[in-house]
Structure 1
Amino acid sequence: MAKASQRQRRPTHVDAQNGVPLNGPIHHQSDVLVFVEPEQKESGAIRHAQKVAKAFGGHVVLVHVMQPHPAEGGPVDPVDWDIRKQTRRKWLAGLAGGLDDDPRRAATVELLEGPCIAQIESHLEGRQDDIAAVLRANGQDNWRMRDTACGVMASRSAAILMIPQASTIKMSDTYQRILVPLDGSVRSENALPSAATLAKTEGAELVLCYIAPEPGLSAFGTMDPEATKLRSEVTRRNTQAGQTHLARIKNRLAHHDLKISTCIVAQGDVRRALVDTITDQSADFVVMATHGESGHRDVPMGKVASFVLDRAHVPVLLVRHRVGRAENHAFEKARSEGARQPVGTDE
């Protein structure tokens, strides 16, 4: 398969007012590389990767990393190793064969050999335009501690797709509601192009969600009437700013001919409120940025994104923020009177 740098780039449509790309995940076609482990016996959950790859003009690649078992020690028997390789190739081919899709978009398979994390990072280093996908095992609280997940999270891929194994789907099924969490920051808006592309392809409704953060008042002492009133006022202002912000985004996406709704959660722990909102809104897919307003670039993803990955019962596409990209807010020229401007738009 050709390297990412050799693939033909797709043209990108741009918001004329702000120069914001709105029709692709990272401005080009992207394959979805699904890193699978031997425990994966069926292809139902992997079809989510097919849908994402189709939306972004790419293909699905099933990748497995073979590494010697730590208990073996000493040199590996080449004959035994070759037998294992043949067995793994047959297993990968079986998974690929279970993906009912257009033959022109048939999934391919790749078998890597060596230390798992290092192999994944090295493999994705040359494919930073692509999406790395991993499956979260049912009832596995420590799934991200496994080598395969660690390698995917530590990679420099354009995005990360987490798929719960229990979330099976048929290619004939379509997503009905795609949730996009936004907090008013530049970085959270990185998810919008990918979300709009997937929603357009699937004919899904785009649900723009804003969760007002808890007012930052000290818990020391008694909450007197003044403090209670102040908390209520901060919550009201945050909610009003969120409503204004989502209305502007909805207006800017109107020319994409998408069905768009908005969702405001007045306050609460943002992480838990977001997981609850996924269920309350009957969302069957989530697209969000790896970092929001409070995120730091020196970690792979923020606390909210990490929390959602561990608990969401639907697939989550985490779009990375590209270092070096001009941080132009998608709605930096917008202004409102009365309510505080969303984070990142104040002068």
Structure 2
Amino acid sequence: MFDRVLVPLDESALAEQVLPHVVVMARLGDKSITLLRVLEPPTSAGVEQPTDPVEWQLALDGAHSYLAGVQRRLEEVGVKADIDVVEGDPATSILQHMHDKGIDLLAITTHGRGGMLGHSLGNVASKTLLRARTNVLVVRSLRASRGQVAELPDVVRYATVLVPLDGSLRAEAGLAVAARICDRDSAAMMLTHVVEGGRPIRRRLPDDAELSIRTEYRASQRQAAETYLATLKKELGNGSRTVDTTVVSEGDAASAIDRLSSERGVDLTVLTAHGETGSPRWPYGSVALHSVVYGATTLLVVQDRPEAELSETHTEKAARERQGHG
């Protein structure tokens, strides 16, 4: 499970939509929760500008006062949290804080004070999530809010929790946390597997033999998937936990998961950052990355690889080398 949770807030109502979900995570066990506000120095054309000391102190005081107010609201529903205010670029500061404090769950909304403007991820969320090397809880701030949330609901409940699985042990890393969430909320756990057949060469039409082989292969894979999910259902099911299974035979995994989430009214999707073919060269495999960027439901990505195993991206390496030459 998660021991240290970081919740970045920018004083916007959109960013505060993460808070009810933080309450859910906090109630799964003892957690150290930190509310973080990053104050960005004023810039002009990308160049940092001098800041009036009095105005900056007022901004610091305002940020502390804001976080203290959120802290009190969380305490009213039984959740304790620390607060921290730092100066710098928001995404860089969030990532640095995660590294320095050993954060193992980042809880963040897709959009903040910059608004939605049609983008799947806001600027800060995009820069932070795509470089995060830990577990992440992504809350879709797709509903407009007016003003800050005055009160937090006593409980937030997930009715249906989707757990996509590709048959690998790595993909099963999210089952334990999904089970705990389902037990807490008496939610139904939906296990799903997407059967993906081999892609044909499009510049020629397949002959009858090839079509027959492909059809037999998909049928065999579907049967194996149904057996696999049935075994997991038996292992995970108990007197009070409802476990459903679904095998999807159409489309690629990312699209099928997104479609299934919408059709079944899924409240939370839990999946691992990598599956069978996941490479440590990137923080996320293709399915997880698609879900982070384009998904429509609240998403919990369980990072299945230690941070030390994940390689730097090409951009991160270039930036580090450039700093070394400065």
**Shorter-chain-normalised TM-score: which range?**
0.7 to 0.9
User: Which of 156, 177, 192 is matched with 1:194 structurally?
Assistant: 177
Structure 1: distance between partners of 2:83 and 2:130: 21
Deviation string 1:121-173 (CA, Å, 9 cap, x unpaired) is: 2211144353101101274554546235423442333x101001146983334
Secondary structure at the aligned position of 2:157 is classed as: coil
8 Å contact from structure 1 (residues 47, 99) kept in 2: no
Deviation string 1:17-57 (CA, Å, 9 cap, x unpaired) is: xxxxxxxx3xxx52431112243367444201210221143
Deviation string 1:271-321 (CA, Å, 9 cap, x unpaired) is: 111101111222111110011122211111112112112233321000001
Pairing 1:103-118 to 2, within 5 Å after superposition: 103=78, 105-118=79-92
Q: In the alignment, is residue 210 of structure 1 matched against residue 193 of structure 2?
A: yes
Aligned to 1:160: 136
What amino acid maps onto 1:89 in structure 2? Answer: H
Q: In the alignment, is residue 243 of structure 1 matched against residue 217 of structure 2?
A: no
Secondary structure at the aligned position of 2:206 is classed as: coil
Secondary structure at the aligned position of 2:274 is classed as: coil
8 Å contact from structure 1 (residues 134, 161) kept in 2: yes
Q: In the alignment, is residue 261 of structure 1 matched against residue 247 of structure 2?
A: no
Structure 2: distance between partners of 1:189 and 1:256: 22
Deviation string 1:202-230 (CA, Å, 9 cap, x unpaired) is: 22111111111133332231132222222
User: Normalising by the residue count of structure 1, what TM-score does the alignment of the two structures yield?
Assistant: 0.76
Aligned to 1:70: 43
User: Which of 144, 147, 158 is matched with 2:124 structurally?
Assistant: 147
Deviation string 1:223-282 (CA, Å, 9 cap, x unpaired) is: 322222222112111211111111121222235852111111112121111101111222
8 Å contact from structure 1 (residues 31, 53) kept in 2: no
The verdict on how the C-alpha distance between 1:41 and 1:142 changes in structure 2, with shifts beyond 3 A counting, is closer
8 Å contact from structure 1 (residues 100, 171) kept in 2: no
Aligned to 1:85: 60
8 Å contact from structure 1 (residues 30, 53) kept in 2: no
The verdict on how the C-alpha distance between 1:165 and 1:144 changes in structure 2, with shifts beyond 3 A counting, is closer
The verdict on how the C-alpha distance between 1:73 and 1:310 changes in structure 2, with shifts beyond 3 A counting, is closer
Q: In the alignment, is residue 123 of structure 1 matched against residue 106 of structure 2?
A: no
User: Normalising by the residue count of structure 2, what TM-score does the alignment of the two structures yield?
Assistant: 0.81
Structure 1: distance between partners of 2:249 and 2:206: 20
The verdict on how the C-alpha distance between 1:308 and 1:101 changes in structure 2, with shifts beyond 3 A counting, is farther
CA RMSD of aligned residues (A): 2.7
8 Å contact from structure 1 (residues 182, 210) kept in 2: yes
Q: Which runs of 5+ in 2 are unaligned?
A: 146-151, 309-326
Structure 2: distance between partners of 1:140 and 1:110: 29
8 Å contact from structure 1 (residues 117, 148) kept in 2: yes
Aligned to 1:30: 3
What amino acid maps onto 1:163 in structure 2? Answer: V
Q: Which runs of 5+ in 1 are unaligned?
A: 1-24, 326-347
8 Å contact from structure 1 (residues 214, 268) kept in 2: no
User: Which of 24, 31, 41 is matched with 1:51 structurally?
Assistant: 24
The verdict on how the C-alpha distance between 1:97 and 1:312 changes in structure 2, with shifts beyond 3 A counting, is farther
Aligned to 2:214: 231
8 Å contact from structure 1 (residues 128, 156) kept in 2: no
Q: Percent identity?
A: 23
The verdict on how the C-alpha distance between 1:320 and 1:281 changes in structure 2, with shifts beyond 3 A counting, is same
8 Å contact from structure 1 (residues 34, 134) kept in 2: yes
Secondary structure at the aligned position of 1:55 is classed as: coil
Pairing 1:192-341 to 2, within 5 Å after superposition: 192-254=175-237, 257-323=240-306
What amino acid maps onto 2:248 in structure 1? Answer: V
The verdict on how the C-alpha distance between 1:140 and 1:241 changes in structure 2, with shifts beyond 3 A counting, is farther
Structure 1: distance between partners of 2:129 and 2:293: 15
More off after superposition, 159-168 vs 258-267? 159-168
The verdict on how the C-alpha distance between 1:125 and 1:324 changes in structure 2, with shifts beyond 3 A counting, is closer
Aligned to 2:324: none
Displacement of 1:178 in angstroms is 0.5
Displacement of 1:197 in angstroms is 1.5
Secondary structure at the aligned position of 1:124 is classed as: helix
